[in-house]
Amino acid sequence: MKLLVCVTKTPETTAKIAFTANGTAFDTNGVQYIMNPYDEWYALVRALELKEAQGGSVCLINVGSPSNDTVIRKGLAIGADEAVRINAEPKSSLYVAKQIANYAKSEGFDIVFAGKESIDYNGSEVSAMIAELLDVPFISYASHMELEGNVATVSRDIEGGTEVVEVATPFVISAAKGLAEQRIPNMRGIMMAKRKPLKVVEPIAADDLTEAVGYELPPAKSAVKLIDPENMDELVRLLSEEAKVI
Amino acid sequence: MVLVFAENIKGQFKKNAFEAVTYGAKAAEIMGTECVALVLGTVENAAGLGTYGASKVYHVADSSLDSFDAQVYTAVIAAATEKLGAKLVIMSHSSTGKSIIGRLAARLDAGSVPGVNTIPTVDGDLKVKKTVFSGKAIAEMAIKSDLKVLSVMGNSLQPDASGSEAPVEALSVDVPASRIKVKEVKRMEGIVPLPEAELVVSAGRGMKGPENWGIIEELAKVLGATTACSRPVADADWRPHHEHVGQTGVAIRPNLYIAAGISGAIQHLAGVNNSKTIVVINKDPEAPFFKAADYGVVGDLFEVVPRLTEAIKKHKAGA
Ligand SMILES: Cc1cc2nc3c(=O)[nH]c(=O)nc-3n(C[C@H](O)[C@H](O)[C@H](O)COP(=O)(O)OP(=O)(O)OC[C@H]3O[C@@H](n4cnc5c(N)ncnc54)[C@H](O)[C@@H]3O)c2cc1C
Ligand SMILES: Nc1ncnc2c1ncn2[C@@H]1O[C@H](COP(=O)(O)O)[C@@H](O)[C@H]1O
């Protein structure tokens, strides 16, 4: 099995979000970065498990600048065999997907894994786009997956339930919670990662069809109104008359 | 023309479809064009989508579309878009819509914005807003391509049913064979799924154990709310995974979010802080959640929650 795992870099989950230049750019000052949790915890680990069970190789792919290499090396430390970084600023989903699909096409992967969404842009688009560009099936929000030969049985999260589908390779899958258990890299993995190949590839030409033109923070909450724990009638009155939500 | 893909569940249209059509009609008005709906598979009452502002409903009735395949749906919606000459395609930001929007954008080489929560403005480029950084910020996005695709975040506008029924016309487009097999669809019956719920009652580790959830379920039942939980609760299998809200769970924006025994960690807030009204019940007055709350009750949830349930019962009986 030849497996490709798309990994992206996101601000760490407790990062304070601020903007500079009149709200036109994300303020990266003091922000720590991590591998997008869905990519690291679920997509990558499930790919590694499949490789361990049936043999094959796991390749990581990222579209980004050289500063992403730390995050990519972490993926290698967790157990991926090799990595490719497409050396470009990931400005829009379709741009990123075109880069990844172009690389994947030339290599012929059996399964392309991605996270269900990036926790910064929250687009949930890149994986679907790759599937379309490769003209293969797409299974989103996978929370469980078994593989027999080249046929996968996948449970995917839908509103208020799950759907079970069967799909043969090649396909693209987006990973949700439950697909695997997070793995912490060990010392040996970290040492080995330094020697694993991280290939840098130049991007193909593609346009950005969407652009973020401004950012703002959600309106600040006014101070909390404290209600006497003995007096829930008062809370109900406020919810009904003031907030008008019940 | 604005084309709204209105999804159905077992032939029925739900609130998210009505929201998408309402959104499409408003966008069409701004763009000075008409809004039509597209429905797939075996459906009931397609004409009813007219009341939400569609001037016509196109129906691709092929029953193979009764089960969902992102690849097939994309091909069909793309064919309809081209055949009808639509310039803006709209769908719900549901598990279905989210699985299609990227595919469709890639297929049509269109600019897309998933999860929008404002009606577009058009001066030069079309601009919309969406939340980013898991609810911690809002981005304004401009789409530069001629053809555009959007998905509408649940609960970001009120469905407007002031129109009248629309004519339904069969649309003939090529439906490719599916390369996947849907073996089973399991849905909880009679419960509004979290992303669509207007009222949500959520609880965390302060509950001590799964055996204590009766009081939360009772409160939810009396309110007609959907239940949710914090991540450690789902991780410990106290509650099903689909109830997990937050940065790594479901992001929601209900009218009312009641959180009992949840500390309000930043990753939890990220998925819920777009709720219209937040009520926090916590015995620790220093719990960070109070900073994000509209109403706070400092007290023991095992006493406060049943008391709240009784107060709501009384309110409902009186109303
Ligand atoms: C990368 C990452 C992603 C994460 N994503 C999420 C996410 O999506 N969603 C999420 O929820 N968390 C997420 N977390 C975890 C998050 O950081 C917190 O650990 C978690 O939200 C805490 O859950 P809790 O509030 O239920 O538990 P605790 O923090 O243990 O809080 C329990 C609260 O209950 C109160 N309490 C106890 N007993 C009572 C009582 N009798 N009456 C009233 N109050 C009582 C306590 O005062 C306390 O405030 C994430 C963490 C990381 C690192
Ligand atoms: N720049 C990138 N490089 C590689 N993979 C990416 C990149 N951006 C997004 N992805 C993948 O696509 C998934 C969904 O991202 P998004 O569509 O931005 O929500 C992520 O979880 C990654 O697996």
**A232 φ, ψ to 5°?**
-75, -15
pLDDT value, residue B319: 60
Give, using CA atoms, the residue closest to atom 20 of ligand 2.
Answer: A115
Give the count of alpha carbons within 13 A of B156, CB side only. 23
How many angstroms separate the CA atoms of A154 and A169, rounded?
Answer: 12
A161-217 pLDDT per residue, tens? 899 999 999 999 999 999 999 999 999 999 999 999 999 999 999 999 999 999 999
Under CATH, which architecture does the A2-219 domain have?
A: 3-Layer(aba) Sandwich (3.40)
Q: Please work out whether the CB of residue A95 comes within 6 Å of at least one atom of ligand 2.
A: no
Interface of A with B in 23-52 (CB under 8 A): 37-38
Q: Please work out whether the CB of residue A172 comes within 6 Å of at least one atom of ligand 2.
A: no
pLDDT tens sequence for chain B (319 residues) = 999 999 999 999 999 999 999 999 999 999 999 999 999 999 999 999 999 999 999 999 999 999 999 999 999 999 999 999 999 999 999 999 999 999 999 999 999 999 999 999 998 899 999 999 988 899 999 999 999 999 999 999 999 999 999 999 999 999 999 999 999 999 888 888 898 899 999 999 999 999 999 999 999 999 999 999 999 999 999 999 889 999 888 889 999 999 999 999 999 999 999 999 999 999 999 999 999 999 999 999 999 999 999 999 999 998 6
Residue bearing tokens 């919606």: B77
| CATH number for domain B2-170, candidates 3.90.380.10, 1.10.1060.10, 3.30.70.1140, 3.40.50.620 | 3.40.50.620
Pick A226's closest partner by Cβ from B182, B298, B300: B298
Q: Please work out whether the CB of residue A8 comes within 6 Å of at least one atom of ligand 2.
A: yes
Q: Please work out whether the CB of residue A127 comes within 6 Å of at least one atom of ligand 2.
A: yes
Q: Which amino acid is at A172?
A: V
Distance (Å) of CA A99 to CA A96, A140, B4, B85, B114:
5, 20, 29, 29, 20
Pick A239's closest partner by Cβ from B132, B134, B277: B277
Interface of A with B in 152-211 (CB under 8 A): 153, 156-168, 177-178, 207-211
Sign of CA dihedral B199, B240, A39, A1: negative
Index of the ligand 1 atom closest to the CA of residue B263:
49
Interface of B with A in 201-220 (CB under 8 A): none
Percent over 90 (pLDDT), chain A: 90
B69·A123 Cβ contact <8 A = no
B91-150 pLDDT per residue, tens? 999 999 999 999 999 999 999 999 999 999 998 899 999 999 988 899 999 999 999 999
Query: Where do the structural domains in chain B lie, given as residue ranges?
Result: 2-170, 194-316
Evaluate the omega torsion of the peptide bond into residue A229 and state whether it is cis, within 30 degrees of 0: no
Mean pLDDT of A39-59: 97
Q: How big is chain B by its Cα radius of gyration, in Å? A: 21
pLDDT value, residue B135: 84
Segment among A23-32, A80-89, B212-221, B222-231 with least mean pLDDT:
A23-32
Ligand approaching nearest to the C-alpha of A47: 2
Mean pLDDT of A10-26: 90
Q: Please work out whether the CB of residue A114 comes within 6 Å of at least one atom of ligand 2.
A: yes
Query: Where do the structural domains in chain A lie, given as residue ranges?
Result: 2-219
- What ipTM is given for this predicted complex? 0.94
The two beta strands, B137-143 and B125-132, are antiparallel
Task: List the beta bridge partners of residue A138.
Answer: A172
How far, in Å, is the centroid of ligand 1 from the Cα of B230?
Answer: 6
The DSSP call for residue A180 is S
Q: Which residue of A has its CA nearest to B271?
A: A119
**pLDDT surpasses 80 at A54:** yes
A229·B307 Cβ contact <8 A = yes
Output the CATH code of domain B194-316: 3.40.50.1220
| B298 close contact with A: CB closer than 8 A | yes
Tell me the whole-structure pTM to 2 decimals: 0.94
